[in-house]
């Protein structure tokens, strides 16, 4: 990592790490889909340890799960001290990518068939995270729809109050 990537303490910015993680994960998704992919979401990211200027950052990305058009990619970030060779696992994250055509429309991706015990473990864990993500998204959408309905109802009531006030005025 270079000085322009870091703050004045020599700690690499979280945003710089996120951009690198996004790119590493996008390459894994692209290689599975063999088509352009866009980032649909990034799950919660915790930065457990600082990465310093001069560290060599190694990112390992793998497609854990493929749905119809989306893929979950896991990225593991390690920082290597170039002098001692010591490597620290600094953080990991899960990103969801969607394979898209030239117009940005979601396109089907190849099925992912886990083979090794490790791949099967990751696949099952990714499936469970996807279930939770969809559940959260549905809940958020329901809350937003209910807030929009409340707002519309309130706007309707204000209009009727204004209409009533106007007719009162006409009466005088
Ligand atoms: C991602 C995007 C293509 C999804 O389009 P959409 O019309 O909502 O598509 P759909 O509802 O049909 O969902 C398509 C797939 O994406 C998944 N998906 C959509 N939004 C998601 C989200 N926020 N998080 C995780 N998965 C998501 C769906 O679960 C579905 O998966 P599946 O086909 O494997 O079952 C669209 O929201 C988009 O273009 N977003 C902007 C992407 C972007 O600009 N990224 C940053 C720069 S690359």
Distance 51 CA to ligand 1 centre (A): 31
pLDDT of residue 60: 98
Atom in ligand 1 nearest the alpha carbon of residue 66: 34
Burial of 75 (0-12, 13-18, 19+ CB in 10 A): buried
Atom in ligand 1 nearest the alpha carbon of residue 69: 33
Check: CB of residue 97 under 8 Å from CB of residue 76. Answer: no
Q: What is the mean pLDDT of each run of 10 residues along the chain (172 residues)?
A: 97 98 98 98 94 98 98 98 97 97 98 97 97 95 94 90 73 56
pLDDT of residue 172: 54
98 lines ligand 1 (CB under 6 A): yes
Give which of 62, 65, 61 is closest to 123, Cα–Cα.
65
pLDDT of residue 161: 85
Q: What is the pTM of this model?
A: 0.88
The three-class DSSP label of residue 154 is helix
DSSP E strand boundaries for 22-126: 37-42, 56-66, 70-80, 87-99
Cβ-Cβ contacts under 8 Å for 23 (sequence gap 6 or more): none
């Amino acid at each position: 990592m270079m000085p322009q990537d870091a703050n004045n303490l020599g700690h690499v910015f979280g945003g710089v790490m996120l951009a690198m993680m996004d790119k590493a994960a996008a390459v894994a998704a692209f290689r599975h889909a063999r088509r352009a992919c866009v980032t649909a979401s990034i799950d919660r990211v915790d930065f457990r340890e600082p990465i310093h200027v001069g560290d060599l950052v190694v990112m390992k990305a793998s497609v854990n799960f493929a749905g119809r058009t989306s893929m979950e990619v896991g990225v593991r970030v390690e920082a290597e001290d170039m002098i001692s060779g010591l490597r620290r696992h600094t953080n990991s994250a899960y990103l969801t990518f969607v394979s898209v055509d030239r117009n940005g429309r979601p396109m089907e991706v190849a099925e992912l068939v886990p083979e090794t015990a490790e791949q099967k473990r990751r696949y099952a864990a990714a499936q469970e995270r996807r279930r939770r993500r969809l559940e959260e998204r549905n809940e958020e959408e329901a809350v937003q729809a209910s807030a929009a309905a409340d707002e519309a109802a309130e706007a309707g009531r204000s209009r009727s109050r204004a209409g009533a006030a106007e007719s009162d005025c006409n009466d005088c």
